[in-house]
Structure 1
Amino acid sequence: MPKRIAYTFDPSTGVPPGVAPFSHAVRWGDTLYVTGQMPTDPATGELVAGDVVAQTKQVFRNLAAVLAHFDATLDDALMVRVYLTDFSDFDRFNAEYVTWFTGPLPSRTCVGSTGLAVGATVEIDLIVGLPS
């Protein structure tokens, strides 16, 4: 039976610091659960300026930085959960979202939220199948 292994990364690794008590990722066998990433610049620990597209780009860079520690990419994502604070951003978010995947898109849920940590407009978490 697999053992649960939790990972927390230092900002010097390209992964931004956590905004609450959590692990950046938890591995169970060949499955990786990646905590929701915020549009935080890992170099400064600050929220990136800009609209939903600018924030989405930073969130995906942060997710990719976590996945790189496991020799995985966004194309290994099985399930994506997206949180948006303004659904009028839905179409612009989707236009940016699809540019981050080269293979078939993972399954996805998009949730409207009245607020996110650090004043973000978007947060994304992942369930990833790790490559063998």
Structure 2
Amino acid sequence: MTMTGNRARIAMAGVVGLMFGVLLGVPFQQSVDAQQSGSGRKAVRPQKAPNTGLPLSPGILAGNTLYLSGHTGRDPVSAKLAPGGIEGETRQALANIREVLRGAGMDFKDVVSVTAFIANFNDFDKFNAVYREYFPTDPPARATVQVTALNIGARVELQMIAVKP
């Protein structure tokens, strides 16, 4: 196995671990923008970052690739789901993600892959309408998975990978 393969596996392990922290529903807190570890990767922690109480990060920047944890439509101040059903939650999840992207010097144009977890596929069209606002042309690759439940009754959770040009 190459060093690149090891780093990718370590980064993915961190993303999976972070997803569990996000699913636990721990509230948000203020923190620093990015912290570099000895391995050359950076933990991206924007001003409004999830405080899981665990050794996890909202995003990990490894080289020019940013691995984002799963983000729900939880308001970072109140720690409650955004009002407005699937549309409101999707907009808030994307706002939370935008903060992590910006913390790494990126934006939605840099996103190459999305995994969307949706609690009810009856919301699929409404979710897509909001999603198109953020990715109007050349959207990233995406998988959408229906799940039986998400943390705190969320309707949607989004996980992304972005690459700096």
TM-score, structure 1 as length reference: 0.86
Query: CA offset at residue 6 of structure 1?
Result: 4.7
More helix by proportion, 1 or 2?
Answer: 2
Structure 2 CA distance for partners of 1:124 and 1:20, relative to 1, 3 Å: farther
Q: Which string of whole-angstrom CA distances, capped at 9 and with x for unpartnered residues, describes residues 41-91 of structure 1?
A: 112222222210010000000000110111100110000000000000011
Query: Conserved in 2, the CA contact under 8 Å of 1:84 and 1:121?
Result: yes
Q: Trace 1:42-81 onto structure 2 (pairs within 5 A).
A: 42-81=76-115
Q: Which runs of 5+ in 1 are unaligned?
A: none
* Alpha-carbon distance in structure 2 between the residues aligned to 1:39 and 1:4: 31
Q: Are the aligned partners of 2:45 and 2:59 in contact in 1 as well (CA < 8 Å)?
A: no
With 40-49 and 51-60 compared, the bigger mean Cα shift is at 40-49
AA aligned opposite 1:9: R
What secondary structure is seen at the aligned counterpart in 2 of 1:96?
Answer: helix
2:73 counterpart (27, 39, 56): 39
**1:128 maps to what in 2?**
162
> Which residue of structure 2 aligns with residue 96 of structure 1?
130
Please, what is the CA RMSD of the aligned residues? Answer: 1.9
**Structure number with larger C-alpha Rg:** 2
Matched, 1:5 2:41: yes
Q: Tell me which residue corresponds to 2:58.
A: 24
Question: TM (normalized to structure 2)?
Answer: 0.70
Structure 1: 4+ residue segments shifted above 4 A: none
